[in-house]
C-alpha cells in the first residue's frame, strides 16, 4: 500500500490512451494487498466505461482470492461523489426548510389545541401531578438567575441613563425610566430569555431524547396522548411560572436602579420609590405580565415542537435543542415588537 | 371449563374508548390454553403496502395471525420488519391495503387504549420513572385502582418476567436484557390478548436470549397470548414461532409464509439460504 501512489500513476500512464483490449497480467505478482487490488479494479472499471475491454489474468490463487474478495470478478457499481452544495441550492433548501418548520409548528399548534379541548372535556386525562415538579424546576430553580440578571439590568440601565439625565439636572427621572422600561419591556423579555435558555432547551432535549428512544411511541401504544402527558404540563407550568418570575424581575430590577440612584445620584431611597410609584401604573405591570403569559406559551410550544421533531439520535437531539433556543428567541422578539406596536396604537 | 370469579378491569378493549376504566367484580371464563374463543384471526393484513411518501418498503403483503400463536416477521437487515410492525401497531397509517387487528379494524392510537402491548427494540422505558412506575403507568392511566393494588400488580408482572426486586431501580441502572424484560412486563400490564415484540433477543447473550424465548413461549401457552415478534434470530424462531412471514428487500414483498421448520427446506433459494445461513451465490 506504501507504493500505491506510484503503482496508480504507472497504471494510469499505461492505460490512459489504451483502446481495444487490455489484459492485466498478474502472473509475476506474488502478493497484493486490498488497496492495490481496489485501485486495479477501479482502473479496469474506468477502461470498461470508456468501451475498452479489460480483463485480469494470470493471478496466483492467493492474489485471485483477493481480487474476487474485492469483486474484481464482477466489477464495481459506480457511485457519485458528494459535491459541495451551491449557494443558490443552499438558499432554496433553507427556504424550503423554513417553510416546512413553520408548517410543522402550525401543525403542532393544531394538535395542541385538540389536546387542550380533549383535556377540557376529560380533565382527569391530564398528567397534572407533573405540573408541580415542573413549576419547581422552571420557576423556583430559576429565581436566583432571574434575580441576578434583572438586578444587573436595572443597575446598568440606571447607570447609563444617569449620566445623560444629570446633564439636565433630571436625576430623579432615572426612577421613571427604569421603572417604566423594566415593567413594560425589559423584565418580561429578559425573564422570557432566561426561561427559554434554561427550561425551553431542557424541554426540547428531554422530549427529543424520548422521541429518539421511542418513548413517545411507547406512550402512544399505551393509549396515552403525548400532548396531554408531556406538552400540556410543561405549558401549564410555564404559564404559571413566567408571570411570577416577571413580577420578581420587576421588583429586583427597580432595586438595581434604586442602588444607582442612592449611590450615584444622591437620591433618597424614599424619594426614588415615590417617583417610581408615581411613574409606574398598574397597567404597566399588567402589560408586562400579559407579555410573560404569551411568551410562556411561545417558549413551551416551540421547545416541545422541536423536541417532537428530533430524529437521528443524540446529534438530532442536539440540533433540535439549539434550534429550539434560536426559534424561541426569534419568536420572543417578534411577539414583543407586536405587543409594543399594539399597545402604542391603542394608546394603552 | 371452570368459571372463576376474578377482579376484572373494565378496561375498554374496543375503539373508541370513552371515559375511564372502572374496576368491578366480574366473572370470567378462562378457556384452557388461553382466551382463543374465536376462529377469527387476531391480525389480518390484505394487500398492504408500507413506506413513506414515494418510498415503498414492502408491497402487497397478505397474511393472517391466528389467535394464540407466536408469529415471526423475518427478513434480512433493511427489509422493513420494524416498519411493518409500526404499521401493525398504528404508529404509521397505510396508504394502500387493509389491516385488521383483533377484529376491530386498523389500529387507531388516538382513540384510546389499543388491545395490544408493545415491546420496543431498546425497551423504550421512561427514563424519569422507576421500573415499577413504568409498569404501573398504564394501570394508573386506565383503571381507578388504589395505589397499593397498582403496585401489587406491577410487582407481580415484574416477577413474571424475572425482575422481582427491580421495581425501584431506574432504567439506566438495568442491563439490556433487564430493560427488555421490564418492557415486556409493561406491555403485559393490562393483560392484552396480543403483544408485539421488536427484536426481543437482539444484543442478549445466548442464555438470556433462551430465557426470554422460554418466557414468551410460556406466556403464549398459559395465557393464550398472541405474540408477533420481529427478529432475525433463527434459533429463537425455530424454538418459539408457530409461523413466520419472510420479507425480501430486492422484490420488496414477502417471499414465504408458514411453519419455519418446513420452510427450512424450501425450494426457494432465498428462503433456503436465509434459514440455512447461506448466501444466494453459495
Query: Is B202 near chain A, with CB under 8 Å?
Result: no
C-alpha cell at A166: 444629570
Tell whether ipTM is more than 0.90: no
Decide the pairing of beta strands B3-9 and B23-29.
antiparallel
Average confidence (pLDDT) over B42-62? 91
β-strand partners of B243: B71
CB-closest option in B19, B127, B137 to A222: B137
Helix axes A313-345, A282-308, angle to 10 degrees: 150
Let me know: does A239 contact A297? Beta carbons within 8 Å: yes
A interface test, pick of B17, B52, B116, B118 with most A CB neighbours within 10 Å: B118
| Ranges for all domains in chain A classified under CATH 3.30.750.24 | 4-69
Q: Residue A222 and residue B113: Cβ atoms within 8 Å?
A: yes
Q: Residue B75 in 3-state DSSP?
A: strand
**Does B118 score more than 90 pLDDT?**
yes
pLDDT of B32 strictly over 60 = no
Rounded to an integer, what distance in angstroms lies between the CA atom of residue A36 and that of residue A70? 10
Look-up of cell digits 423504550: B124
Instruction: For residue B138, list chain A residues with Cβ-Cβ distance below 8 A.
Output: 222-224
CA–CA separation, A11 and A29 (whole Å)? 15
CATH number assigned to the domain covering A4-69? 3.30.750.24
Beta carbons of B112 and A214 less than 8 Å apart: no
Asked whether the beta carbons of residue A221 and residue B20 sit closer than 8 angstroms, the reply is no
Full set of structural domains in chain B with CATH:
67-94+106-275 (3.40.50.300)
Q: Which residues contact A138 (CB under 8 A, 6 or more apart)?
A: A195, A198, A199, A237, A238, A241
pLDDT digits (tens, 9 = 90+) for B173-216: 998 888 999 999 999 999 999 999 999 888 788 888 888 888 88
Averaged pLDDT for residues B65-77: 92
- Test A214 with B122 for CB contact under 8 angstroms: yes
SS3 (DSSP) at B26:
strand
Q: How many CB atoms lie within 10 A of CB A339?
A: 21
A307 contacts in chain B (CB < 8 Å): none
Task: Tell me what pLDDT residue B281 has.
Answer: 53
> Chain A residue with minimal CA distance to B135?
A222
Cell numbers placing B277: 445461513
- On whether any CB of chain A is under 8 Å from the CB of B53, the answer is no
Distance from the Cα of B167 to chain A's closest Cα (Å) equals 19
Instruction: Give the bridge partners for B230, in sequence order.
Output: B73, B198
B34 touches chain A (CB under 8 A): no
Contact B94, B106 (CB under 8 A): yes
Does B22 have pLDDT greater than 50? no
Interface check B142 vs A, CB under 8 A: yes
Contacts of A54 (CB under 8 A, 6+ apart): A21, A22, A23, A24, A43, A44, A47, A48
* Per-residue pLDDT at A297: 94
pLDDT of residue A112: 84
Q: Is the pLDDT of residue B16 over 90?
A: no
pLDDT score at A78: 61
From first to last of its 348 residues, what are the pLDDT tens digits of chain A?
667 788 788 888 888 888 888 888 888 888 888 888 888 888 888 888 888 888 888 888 888 888 888 765 555 566 667 788 889 999 999 999 989 988 988 998 888 888 888 888 888 777 888 899 999 999 999 999 999 999 999 999 999 998 888 888 888 999 999 999 999 999 999 999 999 999 999 999 999 999 999 999 999 999 888 888 899 999 999 999 999 999 999 999 999 999 999 998 888 999 999 999 999 999 999 999 999 999 999 999 999 999 999 998 899 999 999 999 999 999 999 999 999 899 888 877
SS3 B60: strand
Mean pLDDT value across chain B:
82
Is B82 within 8 Å of B230 (Cβ atoms)? yes
Helix/strand/coil for A234: helix
Side-chain half-sphere exposure of B230, counting CA atoms within 13 A: 24
How far apart CA B85 and CA A127 sit, in angstroms, is 28
Q: For residues B190, B194, B198 and B199, what is the CA-based torsion angle, rounded to 10 degrees?
A: 110
For B131-168, write each residue's pLDDT tens digit.
Answer: 999 999 999 988 889 999 999 999 999 998 888 888 99
Amino acid at each position: 500500500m506504501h507504493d500505491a501512489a506510484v503503482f496508480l500513476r504507472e497504471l494510469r500512464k499505461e492505460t490512459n490512451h489504451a483502446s481495444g483490449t487490455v489484459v492485466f497480467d498478474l502472473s509475476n505478482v506474488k502478493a497484493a494487498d486490498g488497496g492495490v487490488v481496489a485501485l486495479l479494479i477501479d482502473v479496469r472499471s474506468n477502461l470498461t466505461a470508456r468501451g475498452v475491454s479489460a480483463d485480469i489474468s494470470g493471478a496466483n490463487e492467493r492474489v485471485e482470492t483477493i481480487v474476487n474478495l474485492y469483486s474484481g470478478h464482477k466489477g464495481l457499481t459506480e457511485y457519485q461523489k458528494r459535491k459541495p452544495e451551491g449557494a443558490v441550492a443552499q438558499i432554496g433548501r433553507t427556504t424550503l426548510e423554513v417553510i416546512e418548520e413553520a408548517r410543522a409548528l402550525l401543525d403542532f399548534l393544531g394538535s395542541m389545541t385538540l389536546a387542550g379541548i380533549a383535556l377540557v372535556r376529560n380533565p382527569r386525562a391530564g398528567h397534572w401531578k407533573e405540573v408541580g415538579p415542573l413549576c419547581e424546576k422552571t420557576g423556583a430553580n430559576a429565581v436566583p438567575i432571574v434575580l441576578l440578571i434583572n438586578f444587573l439590568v436595572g443597575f446598568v440601565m440606571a447607570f447609563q441613563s444617569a449620566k445623560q439625565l444629570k446633564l439636565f439636572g433630571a436625576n430623579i427621572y432615572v426612577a421613571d425610566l427604569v421603572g417604566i422600561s423594566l415593567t413594560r419591556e425589559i423584565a418580561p423579555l429578559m425573564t422570557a430569555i432566561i426561561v427559554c435558555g434554561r427550561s425551553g432547551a431542557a424541554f426540547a432535549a428531554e422530549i427529543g431524547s424520548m422521541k429518539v428512544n421511542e418513548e413517545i411511541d411507547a406512550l402512544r401504544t399505551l393509549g396515552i396522548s403525548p400532548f396531554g402527558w408531556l406538552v400540556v404540563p410543561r405549558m401549564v407550568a410555564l404559564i404559571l411560572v413566567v408571570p411570577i418570575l416577571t413580577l420578581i424581575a420587576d421588583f429586583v430590577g427597580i432595586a438595581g436602579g434604586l442602588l444607582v440612584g442612592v449611590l450615584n445620584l444622591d437620591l433618597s431611597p424614599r424619594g426614588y420609590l415615590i417617583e417610581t410609584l408615581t411613574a409606574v401604573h398598574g397597567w404597566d405591570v399588567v402589560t408586562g405580565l400579559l407579555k410573560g403569559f404569551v411568551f410562556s406559551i411561545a417558549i413551551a410550544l416551540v421547545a416541545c415542537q422541536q423536541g417532537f421533531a428530533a430524529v437521528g439520535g443524540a446529534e438530532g437531539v442536539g440540533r433540535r435543542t439549539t434550534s429550539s433556543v434560536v426559534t424561541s428567541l426569534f419568536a420572543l422578539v417578534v411577539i414583543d415588537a407586536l405587543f409594543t406596536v399594539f399597545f402604542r396604537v391603542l394608546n394603552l | 371449563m371452570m368459571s372463576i370469579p376474578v377482579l376484572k378491569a373494565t378496561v375498554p378493549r374496543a375503539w373508541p374508548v370513552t371515559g375511564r376504566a372502572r374496576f368491578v367484580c366480574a366473572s370470567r371464563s378462562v378457556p384452557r390454553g388461553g382466551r382463543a374463543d374465536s376462529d377469527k384471526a387476531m391480525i389480518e393484513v390484505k394487500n398492504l403496502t408500507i413506506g413513506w411518501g414515494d418510498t415503498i418498503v414492502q408491497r402487497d403483503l397478505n397474511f393472517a395471525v391466528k389467535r394464540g400463536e407466536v408469529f415471526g416477521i423475518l427478513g434480512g437487515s433493511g427489509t422493513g420488519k420494524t416498519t411493518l410492525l409500526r404499521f401493525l401497531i398504528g404508529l404509521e397509517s397505510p396508504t394502500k391495503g387493509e389491516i385488521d387487528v383483533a377484529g376491530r379494524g386498523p389500529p387507531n392510537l388516538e382513540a384510546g387504549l389499543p388491545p395490544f402491548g408493545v415491546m420496543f427494540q431498546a425497551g423504550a422505558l421512561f427514563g424519569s420513572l422507576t421500573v415499577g412506575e413504568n409498569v404501573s403507568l398504564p394501570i394508573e392511566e386506565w383503571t381507578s385502582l388504589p395505589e397499593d393494588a397498582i403496585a401489587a400488580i406491577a410487582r407481580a408482572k415484574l416477577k413474571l418476567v424475572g425482575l422481582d426486586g427491580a421495581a425501584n431501580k431506574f432504567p439506566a441502572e438495568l442491563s439490556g436484557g433487564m430493560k427488555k424484560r421490564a418492557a415486556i412486563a409493561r406491555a403485559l400490564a393490562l393483560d392484552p390478548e396480543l403483544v408485539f415484540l421488536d427484536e426481543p433477543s437482539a444484543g442478549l447473550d445466548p442464555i438470556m436470549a433462551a430465557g426470554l424465548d422460554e418466557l414468551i413461549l410460556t406466556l403464549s401457552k398459559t395465557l393464550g397470548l398472541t405474540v408477533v415478534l420481529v427478529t432475525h434470530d433463527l434459533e429463537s424462531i425455530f424454538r418459539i414461532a408457530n409461523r413466520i412471514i419472510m420479507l425480501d428487500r430486492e422484490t420488496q414483498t414477502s417471499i414465504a409464509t408458514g411453519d419455519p421448520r418446513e420452510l427450512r427446506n424450501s425450494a426457494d433459494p432465498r428462503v433456503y439460504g436465509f434459514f440455512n445461513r447461506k448466501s444466494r451465490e453459495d
